[in-house]
């Protein structure tokens, strides 16, 4: 396993402004999978843009630790090495990032600096993905989209560093990703899979037991629950929001357009947890303007029925309902193209998929 300190820096031939422009074009196409408001956009090396936060012992949990974030990183795995999602000096304390391992884009963490690197869980390039790294006192766990991707033995307490914390960079590995980072959360408790899933697709805007900080990047690097406000610095760093459109057009082979405003797509996987999704779901039919069907394996084998309803007269919300006849992993993305707001619904493999009855899905009436 290669240590970051012994890894050659990635090389690029483009000017930073060009890298940022290309990144923004790619993100515009992927923005439908973004679950919240705006996000921090980064241009990638050789850009230097990142968010920085003054050193504080609270940013270095030692007895228990959870880091989670939504990321959409567009660097190609080919010929690339490691990009920092966040870190507090990987040579001394903790670091979370995306590294190419065996040609695959892989979640890597350091929790005890130096030689403590662990790899586990693949991050799909250019698609919004939730990542989490958890330490409970004896085990380190990697989660991708709420699924346990890898488990490692870990000796505590965790090491500390007086270095500043950075998001999109690290004082000892200043190589930002090209792409975006959103809704970063740091906890001094070990979050379980159930706890991660329960808040994965909703914002946190008020204090919660064990929560150290939340950085939603809604236009700045403020901590919305605590005192750990930061600033952005360097080149090719900024904030973007999802695009909006007057309507979603019509159904395609891989997406539904319901009520003329809700674009819906899904991806599924039968491979083990922590690996990339196998393929996009395909539209099997649309019963009317408000509902439709997806299939995974064949056109005569329907997997998901989904519908959107105008509940504005009841609770000032649009609703999303779905039912599925499958037990494989899938993620279904529902985007209100008129506002850019988006919801992601996950089914985890094993038991039959539960129904979705989300009567609070979109507060975007009328």
The token pair at 87 is: 């870190």
Q: Residues 287, 289, 291, 294: is their CA dihedral positive or negative?
A: positive
pLDDT of amino acid 80:
60
Cβ atoms of 118 and 140 within 8 Å: the answer is yes
Peptide bond just before 204 cis, omega within 30 deg: no
Q: How many CA atoms lie within 13 A of 204 on its CB side?
A: 25
C-alpha 193/C-alpha 148 separation (Å) is 7
pLDDT of amino acid 300:
87
Q: Based on the number of CB atoms within 10 Å of its own CB, is 97 exposed (0-12), middle (13-18) or buried (19 or more)?
A: buried
71: phi then psi, degrees, rounded to nearest 5: -135, 145
For residue 22, give the 3-state DSSP assignment.
Answer: helix
The matching CATH number, chosen from 2.40.30.160, 1.10.3720.10, 2.60.120.200, 1.10.357.10, for 4-240 is 2.60.120.200
Cβ atoms of 239 and 231 within 8 Å: the answer is no
Residues of the chain with pLDDT under 70: 1-35, 76-80, 286-287
The token pair at 316 is: 């000032």
Q: Where are the domains of the chain?
A: 4-240, 256-362
C-alpha 40/C-alpha 366 separation (Å) is 29
166-199 as b/e, with b when 16 or more CB fall inside 10 Å? bbbbbbbbbbbbbbbbbbbbbbbbbbeeebbbee
Q: Considering only CA atoms, give the Rg of the chain.
A: 20
Give tens-digit pLDDT for 16-39.
443 344 344 434 434 334 568 899
Which are the contacts of 5, defined by CB distance < 8 A and separation ≥ 6? 91, 172
């Amino acid at each position: 396993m290669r240590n970051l300190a012994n890894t050659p820096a990635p090389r690029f031939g483009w000017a930073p402004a060009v890298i940022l422009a290309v990144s923004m074009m790619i993100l515009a196409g992927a923005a439908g999978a973004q679950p919240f408001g705006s996000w921090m956009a980064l241009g990638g090396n050789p850009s230097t843009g990142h968010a920085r936060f003054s050193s504080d012992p609270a940013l270095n949990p030692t007895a228990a630790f959870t880091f989670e974030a939504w990321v959409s990183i567009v660097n190609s795995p080919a010929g690339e090495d490691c990009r920092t999602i966040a870190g507090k000096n990987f040579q001394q304390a903790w670091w979370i990032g995306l590294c190419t391992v065996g040609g695959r884009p892989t979640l890597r963490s350091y929790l005890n600096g130096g030689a403590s690197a662990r790899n586990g869980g693949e991050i799909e390039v250019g698609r919004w993905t939730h990542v989490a790294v958890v330490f409970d006192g004896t085990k380190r766990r990697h989660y991708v989209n709420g699924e346990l991707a890898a488990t490692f033995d870990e000796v505590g307490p965790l090491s500390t560093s007086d270095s500043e914390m950075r998001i999109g960079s690290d004082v000892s590995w200043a190589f930002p990703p090209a792409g975006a980072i959103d809704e970063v959360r740091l906890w001094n408790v070990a979050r379980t899979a159930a706890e991660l899933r329960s808040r994965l697709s909703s914002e946190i805007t008020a204090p919660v037991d064990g929560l150290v900080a939340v950085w939603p990047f809604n236009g700045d690097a403020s901590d919305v629950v605590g005192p750990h406000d930061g600033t952005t610095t360097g080149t090719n760093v900024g904030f973007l929001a999802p695009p909006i459109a007057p309507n979603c057009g019509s159904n395609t082979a891989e997406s539904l357009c319901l009520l003329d405003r809700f674009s819906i797509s899904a991806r599924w996987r039968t491979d083990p947890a922590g690996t990339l999704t196998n393929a996009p779901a395909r539209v099997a039919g649309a019963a009317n303007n408000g509902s439709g069907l997806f299939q995974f394996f064949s056109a005569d084998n329907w997997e998901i029925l989904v519908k959107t309803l105008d509940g504005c007269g009841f609770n000032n919300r649009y609703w999303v309902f779905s039912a599925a006849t499958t037990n494989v992993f899938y993620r279904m993305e529902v985007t209100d193209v008129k506002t850019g707001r988006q919801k992601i619904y996950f089914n985890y493999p094993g038991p039959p998929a539960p129904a979705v009855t989300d009567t609070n899905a979109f507060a975007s009436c009328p």
